[in-house]
Structure 1
Amino acid sequence: MVDYELLPNLSENLLGTLNNNNEYHDIIIEVGNDPNVKTFRAHMIILNCRSPYLQRILSTNKKSDDGALVHIKLTDISPDNFDIILKYIYGGRLSLKEYDTSVIIKILVVASKLGLKELTPYLESFLIENKGNWMEQNFNIIYQTSFDDDSFSQLQKYCNDLISKDPSKIFNSPNFSTIPEKLLVSLIQNKNAQMRVVQIWEHVIKWGLAQNPELPSNTKEFTKDQFIALENTLKNIIPLIKFREMNSKEFSKKVKPFRKILSEDSFDDLLDYFLDSDNEKSEPSTSKEISETNIDSKIITLQQAELISKWIDKSDESTTSYKFKLLYRGSHETIDGFDAFKEFHEKCDNKSRTVTIIKVKNGNEIFGGYNPIEWKSNGYGITKDSFIFCFKNNNNIQSHVVDEKNAVYNSYYVGPSFGNCDLYLYHSIEGGLGFSCKKSSYEKQIRETEELCFVEEFEVFQIMLNLPILS
């Protein structure tokens, strides 16, 4: 018999003692604040063994000689979250798939407070491995949560890595305006932002206005006091902006309307600089970088797009700037039925030099492939320059085609597919947008398993030369 085979029975029995309202309970826990208060009955011996925090509280709340139940209060925990944690304390099980990400974060905070040291890193790992998109979209919540508690080392590392490696994701997140000033400073000082100074300035102004919702949207309507309010909000941010890296048109259009939040001397110096013909700048070149306007992806980062560009150029130092033109975006919610890929073929057939990006459901893996030739609705496509790839936890895998005659698979009934099932996108008979990888026509297996998984969404981009705009 395996040592752990009987543990489920033990877990069920302990949960049974929690749920049965009998005389063996010896403590009442009052959780929450008015009007959301709930009482729980439990057993001191179990709480004492499982939670160092509760152990300290119970050490000063001994049983009385008259047999009355011990009564403690936990006012800074919500009843709903405590109910989840209490069941874990008794049963040792927690099904995270049942809960929204925001609830899991609250559970994490409660677990840390109660000193459940084995649960805290488990929850952190689950969030990082399975909820990456949500955390990027709600980075302000993750950032504040992780640095409010020194025990959240994994989440702190996740935040620092994202700030360091891909700050543009935070700049462009829907909740950017709610990030703390300290984080905004870190983003501006980061050299990997891959954003022009004027774009950073626009985000700074957006953030400053969000902190002062009473301000008009048009600066022409600002009063003197309202300019002062915005200046005070941005007083620690403005000195970090490298205004001289803008061109004169950007300065005139984007900075001049806010000149009253700059010191008079600073604005005059900048004005002299941009009026000096020797310092006149043309539009900043986008060579060797991909600006945020050059890819409209919900799945990959700018750095990942740049890496794909290097792979296309077959060089570690790509000197070509590409524009990723979105041709098609589909998801498990929009693709179904006999003609599931009709729209894909309408928009992408006869288009060459395309990159397909695939995000799987309930995972942090991103897959894709580059097709230098045209998509069709039947037959195999022949090329020696196609490749497929996988991004997972900063581990990038690129796999080149080895069977050129079967490089690309075309069918009206499937989505963009490569090789003989090396990367195969189709509508599964089990229902949903299916995806599988099986090494055949390409040099490497890009997924650890050949089993079917389901797709959250996928995108198809056409790769075009990105010519710089001349002023």
Structure 2
Amino acid sequence: MISPYQQILEPELWLDINSKIVAPNEPISSSVLPPRKILNVTLPTRTTLTSNIITDAHTLEISSWIDKRKSRYTENNPYEFKLLVRGSRDGFDVKTIYEICDKVSNTVIVLKVKDTGEILGGYIPCELDKNKNEWIYSQDSFAFSLRTTNLKNSILSRVYKFDHAIVESPQHSQLFFGNTLCLLGNLKTDNQCHCLQNSFSYDKPIRSEELMDHRRCRFNVEEYELPKNIVTLPFFFPN
């Protein structure tokens, strides 16, 4: 049945299609364009972020987690990461994050732990609000620990208790991913940041037990960055 397509086809093309069905060996008058050329072009690898903490390989891994891919991106990152906040540039108090990122969504926070060199972080798909103190609902947020010389494989921890995904509390200078990654006060000096093993809203801890003994349960941050991930359009090539 081709009658449903009559409204979107040109009259001449419509008549030609009908004629072709009735008499398939007869010529038609409509112009038939040649097929599009397929170009074998290698897309350039995007440098997604000038970072003091993470590499392009790290951003590819984070992008894979955002898209919930089973296999990791190895090139051509679909996202551009635009830096919004950097501790050494803008300040280390958690309130700074809320001031600069007010009403901003789809952000990633990465931080380098002092003394251990761990790279911890989390993805915040929802908007932060500098005037609210509440739990944020999210089905897509996650916390992580990235592979470094001291950690053989990255650790991904996804939220499963969606109504307790993220605590935004600018009034108390707090930003929590459940209790899997808890950021408080001045990240550089207050020694209040921590990650608990018995997470109640994310599926696994992101720090190894040997780095979470009683001496290192709480930690300071050497540097942190908070970029926004921006979807980049695919490359298009003319005929």
TM range (shorter): 0.5 to 0.7
Is residue 417 from structure 1 mapped to residue 176 from structure 2 by the alignment? yes
Is residue 305 from structure 1 mapped to residue 32 from structure 2 by the alignment? no
Is residue 457 from structure 1 mapped to residue 223 from structure 2 by the alignment? yes
**Structure 1 residue 415: Cα displacement:** 4.9
Partner SS state of residue 304, structure 1: helix
Q: Which amino acid aligns with 1:323?
A: E
Partner SS state of residue 220, structure 2: strand
Gapped regions of structure 2 (runs ≥ 5): 1-38
Partner SS state of residue 154, structure 2: strand
Contact 1:332 1:457 in 2 (8 A): no
Tell me what 1:149 maps to. Answer: none
In 1: Cα distance, 2:229 partner to 2:181 partner = 20
Tell me what 2:202 maps to. Answer: 442
Is residue 368 from structure 1 mapped to residue 126 from structure 2 by the alignment? no
Tell me what 1:350 maps to. Answer: 103
Q: Which amino acid aligns with 1:417?
A: F
In 2: Cα distance, 1:298 partner to 1:428 partner = 19
Q: Deviations over 1:243-281 (max 9, x none)?
A: xxxxxxxxxxxxxxxxxxxxxxxxxxxxxxxxxxxxxx9
Contact 2:188 2:221 in 1 (8 A): no
Tell me what 2:33 maps to. Answer: none
Alignment match of 2:112 (pick from 350, 359, 368) = 359
Distance 1:429 1:389, change over 3 A: closer
Alignment match of 1:328 (pick from 85, 89, 111) = 85
Distance 1:323 1:428, change over 3 A: closer
In 2: Cα distance, 1:313 partner to 1:284 partner = 22
Report 1 or 2 for greater relative contact order, CA contacts < 8 Å, sequence distance ≥ 6.
Answer: 2
**Structure 1 residue 432: Cα displacement:** 3.0
More helix by share: 1
Q: Which amino acid aligns with 2:129?
A: K
Alignment match of 2:138 (pick from 372, 383, 386) = 383
Distance 1:424 1:365, change over 3 A: same
TM-score normalised by L of structure 1: 0.35
Contact 1:345 1:376 in 2 (8 A): yes
In 2: Cα distance, 1:343 partner to 1:359 partner = 17
**Structure 1 residue 362: Cα displacement:** 1.2
In 1: Cα distance, 2:158 partner to 2:234 partner = 31
TM-score normalised by L of structure 2: 0.67
Partner SS state of residue 344, structure 1: helix
Distance 1:417 1:301, change over 3 A: same
In 2: Cα distance, 1:351 partner to 1:432 partner = 26
Distance 1:469 1:388, change over 3 A: same
1:65-214 aligned within 5 A: none
Q: Which amino acid aligns with 1:385?
A: D
**Structure 1 residue 417: Cα displacement:** 2.5
**Structure 1 residue 302: Cα displacement:** 0.8
Contact 1:327 1:462 in 2 (8 A): yes
In 2: Cα distance, 1:323 partner to 1:342 partner = 25
Contact 2:113 2:223 in 1 (8 A): yes
Q: Deviations over 1:199-227 (max 9, x none)?
A: xxxxxxxxxxxxxxxxxxxxxxxxxxxxx
**Structure 1 residue 384: Cα displacement:** 1.2
Q: Deviations over 1:75-128 (max 9, x none)?
A: xxxxxxxxxxxxxxxxxxxxxxxxxxxxxxxxxxxxxxxxxxxxxxxxxxxxxx
Contact 1:332 1:433 in 2 (8 A): no
Distance 1:396 1:431, change over 3 A: closer
What's the % identity of the aligned pairs? Answer: 35
Gapped regions of structure 1 (runs ≥ 5): 1-280
- Pairwise CA RMSD: 2.9
In 1: Cα distance, 2:108 partner to 2:188 partner = 27
Is residue 467 from structure 1 mapped to residue 233 from structure 2 by the alignment? yes
In 2: Cα distance, 1:309 partner to 1:366 partner = 16
Distance 1:425 1:331, change over 3 A: farther
In 2: Cα distance, 1:323 partner to 1:333 partner = 21
Structure whose CA Rg is larger: 1
Tell me what 1:234 maps to. Answer: none
Tell me what 1:129 maps to. Answer: none
In 2: Cα distance, 1:314 partner to 1:442 partner = 16
Distance 1:317 1:330, change over 3 A: closer
Contact 2:107 2:123 in 1 (8 A): yes
Partner SS state of residue 295, structure 1: coil
In 2: Cα distance, 1:317 partner to 1:460 partner = 22
Partner SS state of residue 86, structure 2: strand
Partner SS state of residue 52, structure 2: coil
In 2: Cα distance, 1:386 partner to 1:362 partner = 27
Contact 1:434 1:455 in 2 (8 A): no
Contact 2:60 2:72 in 1 (8 A): no
